[in-house]
Structures are given as structure tokens and as C-alpha cells.
């Protein structure tokens, strides 16, 4: 009688252990043998709107800790209106697959998903932020000293203007390959408007190439 009771007790314990084991197997964890995809790098970047992010998007597919090669990964833009190239790539010997990402035209959130059929962890989401391009200024100032232009390079928008202000003790001029140019001045200012994009070098003809500058029009 005592032995039978002990056997029943052991049986109950075994049933309990089996239930716990079953519970862990049907939980959220994937089967350990399935291939699994995870992000490696490329999420969280910022770039100018309409431009490519600096770093490629990379996912890795592994099985029991080792990279799985030859698996197709599809890349799709899910927000922001940009584009990915290529839209489909294949994992290499390390299990890695990658694509490039050009952001959409509007500032704000962009997103991409990487997916692979029959792979745990798919899809993997990537995000990026598009930031407005800062336009060049419409106006720039240059100081004309003895014997240097400060700054020596000025960048302005198309249609913008540069104003030179004489600050030295001796005569200088601002002379481009084509007019309008300043004459020789010791004081005062000279302004020129630039209506076409390009790089426009100038110099003071009194002091030659050692006193030169450039206007960059974008």
C-alpha cells in the first residue's frame, strides 16, 4: 500500500515535469533549429532628403549560430517614399545580405523592411531620418585687407550677392576674368551679383595671385 502511494506520487511529478517542458516548447521562442534573421547595421541614420544614407542596410541570417548563405532577402520601402537598390539580395558566406537606401524627398521618418520567406524574425525593420538640405546664403561678405581676402572662398546661392569691404591701409581691387570688377580702392565697398552657378576666381591685380579668392555659386 505504501509502495503504491509512492508510485502515484512519482507519476504526478512526472506529469507536472512534462507539462512544464511542453509549456516552454509552445512558448514564444522559435524552434532552435530554424534560420533566424536579425539586423546587423544601418538603422537609425540621418541623411539629406533625396540622398543615399552613408551606410548600407545589413541583415544576417543564422541557423544554430552559423551564417546561412544563399538565402534571398527582399527589401521594401515601407515609409518616406525613398528607394532601395537592390530590392532583392542573397546572403553571403557569413549569412549577410545588404542593400543601399536613398531617402524620400520629404523631411522626416523613413522606413524599410527586410523579409525572407520561412525565416524567423522576418521582417526586420530599419528607420532613418531625412533632413532638409540647408540652402547656401543669398549674401556673403569679404574683408579686403593687406594683402588678403577674408574669407578667401565664399559660397552663395544663384542670384546671390557678395560684398567686399576695404579694411587695409593700401590700394586693392577685386578683379574677375570678366567684369564687373572694382577699381583700385582704399576704402568703401564693392558688390557683385552672381546669376549663374559656377566657381568664379578673382584676385587683386596690384598684389597678384598671392591676394586671390573664389566665389562659389550653387
- For residues 137 and 208, which CB has a smaller minimum distance to Cu ion in the complex? 208
Q: CB 140 → Cu ion: shortest distance, Å?
A: 19
- For residues 134 and 210, which CB has a smaller minimum distance to Cu ion in the complex? 210
Q: CB 146 → Cu ion: shortest distance, Å?
A: 7
Q: CB 212 → Cu ion: shortest distance, Å?
A: 10
- For residues 153 and 218, which CB has a smaller minimum distance to Cu ion in the complex? 153
- Per CB under 5 A, residues contacting Cu ion are 147, 172, 204, 206-207, 211
Q: CB 208 → Cu ion: shortest distance, Å?
A: 8
- For residues 125 and 206, which CB has a smaller minimum distance to Cu ion in the complex? 206
Question: Of 160, 142, 137, 161, which is closest to residue 152 (Cα–Cα)?
Answer: 142
Q: CB 139 → Cu ion: shortest distance, Å?
A: 23
Q: CB 57 → Cu ion: shortest distance, Å?
A: 53
The sign of the CA dihedral 116, 121, 123, 126 is negative
- For residues 194 and 202, which CB has a smaller minimum distance to Cu ion in the complex? 202
- For residues 83 and 185, which CB has a smaller minimum distance to Cu ion in the complex? 185
Q: Name the residue whose CB lies closest to Cu ion.
A: 204
Peptide bond into 151 cis (omega under 30): yes
Amino acid at each position: 500500500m505504501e509502495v503504491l502511494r509512492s508510485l502515484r506520487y512519482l507519476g504526478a511529478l512526472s506529469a507536472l515535469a512534462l507539462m512544464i517542458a511542453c509549456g516552454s516548447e509552445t512558448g514564444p521562442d522559435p524552434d532552435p533549429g530554424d534560420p533566424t534573421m536579425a539586423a546587423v547595421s544601418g538603422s537609425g541614420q540621418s541623411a539629406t532628403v533625396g540622398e543615399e544614407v552613408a551606410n548600407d542596410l545589413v541583415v544576417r541570417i543564422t541557423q544554430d549560430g552559423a551564417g546561412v548563405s544563399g538565402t534571398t532577402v527582399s527589401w521594401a520601402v515601407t515609409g518616406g517614399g525613398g528607394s532601395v537598390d537592390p530590392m532583392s539580395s542573397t546572403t553571403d558566406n557569413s549569412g549577410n545580405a545588404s542593400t543601399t537606401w536613398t531617402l524620400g524627398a520629404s523631411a522626416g521618418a523613413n522606413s524599410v523592411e527586410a523579409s525572407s520567406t520561412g525565416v524567423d524574425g522576418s521582417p526586420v525593420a530599419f528607420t532613418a531620418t531625412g533632413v532638409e538640405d540647408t540652402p547656401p546664403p543669398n549674401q556673403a561678405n569679404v574683408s579686403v585687407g593687406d594683402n588678403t581676402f577674408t574669407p578667401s572662398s565664399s559660397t552663395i546661392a544663384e542670384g546671390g550677392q557678395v560684398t567686399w569691404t576695404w579694411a587695409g591701409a593700401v590700394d586693392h581691387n577685386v578683379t574677375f576674368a570678366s567684369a564687373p570688377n572694382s577699381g583700385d580702392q582704399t576704402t568703401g565697398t564693392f558688390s557683385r551679383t552672381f546669376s549663374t552657378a559656377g566657381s568664379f576666381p578673382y584676385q587683386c591685380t596690384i598684389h597678384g595671385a598671392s591676394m586671390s579668392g573664389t566665389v562659389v555659386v550653387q
